[in-house]
Amino acid sequence: MRRLIFIILSLLFFANPLIAQKALLKIASFNIQYDNLKDKVNTWEKRLPGVVAVFNKYQFDVVGAQEPYLSQLNDLMPQIPDYAYLGINILGDTTGAVLRRHYTPIFYKKEKLDVLDWGTFWYSETPDEAGKKGWDAYSPRICTWAKFKDKQTGREFFFFNSHFDHIGLIARRESPKLLLAKIKEKAQGYPSFATGDFNTTQHNPNYKIMNESGTMKDSYHVAKNIRNRNTTTFNDYKPDPQGDNRIDHIYVSLQPQVKVHSYRIITDSYKGIYPSDHFPVMIEVEIPEKNK
């Protein structure tokens, strides 16, 4: 009798598209730090296995990453064969000849998602000009964006992955405004995500530009469950980092509203070393339908 009940319930589940469409996606933001040759302790060679371990353990569906060089991506990709990535470096190079410049890549599960479109814009007064350093920024900064389709549910969504400048006061004020404008331009009516190292804590006035925009909301504030609530996302390789400042955020759209089932700051280490000087942030979400 129990076996019969189980079979009936299973058939009902798979036959009901409304239930099937509630399959959750795991979204993450992960600054994996560039290959800093001056740091002889936390070398990329030591950190790489920890980065791979995080991908394997948590099985993210989409990851917005920040800072890696192409040389690091070339090391990483053979070890996470379920993933592909989208992105170019901050100079706009597409030849693959430049190995040591920052990327802001989007990793995605190849068997889970189809890429419908993608591109790059620069955080500057001329966002379509490749390699342009904007305002008072220290260096060129980019956003990699993509439009995905979930193969299981058929639902489509946009994903914007950024790395804001860490020095320029004007750049850090203007970058979120540009990001919001691009989200409205490209993703109007679609479920959307904005991941990144925003170099802005939740206590900074610039944080409100995104979080109180009415368009996007920090997933921290709408998640049903939160793990490691009062944890900083920048660990600086310290064994017991103090504080609750978050500079790595995942914003979700409000119209249509993305349902955030869980939020977690991942504090895993690997053989006594953190994979990066930032902790990854992960959310589990339900993708809503596009507004009609």
122-160: pLDDT as tens digits: 999 999 999 999 999 999 999 999 999 999 999 999 999
Indicate whether 289 pLDDT > 90: yes
Q: Summarize the confidence of residues 107-135 as an average pLDDT.
A: 98
| pTM, two decimal places | 0.92
Contact 33, 278 (CB under 8 A): yes
Indicate whether 20 pLDDT > 50: no
Listed range (15-19, 32-36, 103-107, 281-285) with the worst mean pLDDT: 15-19
Indicate whether 44 pLDDT > 80: yes
Indicate whether 223 pLDDT > 50: yes
Indicate whether 1 pLDDT > 60: no
Q: Summarize the confidence of residues 98-119 as an average pLDDT.
A: 98
Q: Residue 292: pLDDT band by 50, 70, 90 thresholds?
A: confident
% of residues, the chain, pLDDT over 90: 91
Q: Summarize the confidence of residues 175-199 as an average pLDDT.
A: 98
Indicate whether 57 pLDDT > 70: yes
Indicate whether 288 pLDDT > 80: yes
Listed range (5-9, 176-180, 223-227) with the worst mean pLDDT: 5-9
Domain ranges of the chain: 24-286
pLDDT of residue 19: 40
Q: Residue 121: pLDDT band by 50, 70, 90 thresholds?
A: very high
24-286: CATH topology: Deoxyribonuclease I; Chain A (3.60.10)
pLDDT of residue 23: 82
